A and B are shown apart, each in its own frame.
Chain A
Amino acid sequence: GAGVSQSPRYKVAKRGQDVALRCDPISGHVSLFWYQQALGQGPEFLTYFQNEAQLDKSGLPSDRFFAERPEGSVSTLKIQRTQQEDSAVYLCASSLPRRDEQYFGPGTRLTVT
């Protein structure tokens, strides 16, 4: 069946631009996670949704980062006024209520120039 999809796969932004990254979770998965993965590092938790409710946003690095999931399915991660340190792969994962089994998308590689 269809897995988690993310778009775009690659994004190049000039410093100061706003970007929006999209995640389509597996159908029926109520839990959705966003992670940031820097080169050579493991994924770092950004935020968690259960359906449309954002239950944990403690990992968002600054108020320039904003995530939403208005109808409890598709989610968007928005980064305002991008900085070079935002360059990373942004991963989305979804799961059934058992949060331990997370299914990851391929990620969006963001490069800020």
Chain B
Amino acid sequence: QKEVEQDPGPLSVPEGAIVSLNCTYSNSAFQYFMWYRQYSRKGPELLMYTYSSGNKEDGRFTAQVDKSSKYISLFIRDSQPSDSATYLCAMTKTGGFKTIFGAGTRLFVKA
């Protein structure tokens, strides 16, 4: 079993929909949680970063962390075709250097 599980999709939604992306993890030592967006043939770019539990909002993006359930989510409001990409969750442990990524969820937003 992988330390971080993420449904690879693909997930296809109409423009303007609310998108929900999720990851589960098994190691309770993870404390830092990130979401990256990766366009085809590009490197990942950081979207959201959260420490420990709670919510964080940035424009159309909201990240949630539920440490009791070992479950993290990214919500995208008013989705746009330009949001079509692969979304990667990632996490690290306190004092550690190794970042563990999920497999990524491919998202398609149809105009």
A residues with CB within 8 A of B: 4, 33, 35, 40-45, 48, 55-56, 58-59, 91, 93, 99-107
Contacts and interface: CB of A to CB of B under 8 A. Distances in A.
B8 interface: yes
Contact of B100 (A45, A55, A101, A107): A45
Interface of B is mostly: strand
Interface of A is mostly: loop
Contacts of B63: none
- Chain B interface: which size bin? 20 to 34
A28 to B, nearest CB: 18
A42 B103 contact: yes
A41 B103 contact: yes
Contact of A56 (B6, B41, B98, B101): B98
* Ranked 9 nearest A-B pairs via Cβ: A104-B43, A42-B101, A48-B97, A56-B97, A45-B98, A42-B103, A43-B101, A104-B44, A100-B32
B46 interface: yes
Contacts of A100: 32, 34, 49, 92
25 contacts: A4-B43, A33-B99, A40-B8, A40-B104, A42-B90, A42-B102, A42-B103, A42-B104, A43-B101, A45-B99, A58-B98, A59-B98, A91-B43, A91-B44, A93-B43, A99-B92, A99-B99, A100-B49, A101-B46, A102-B99, A104-B36, A104-B44, A106-B41, A106-B42, A107-B42
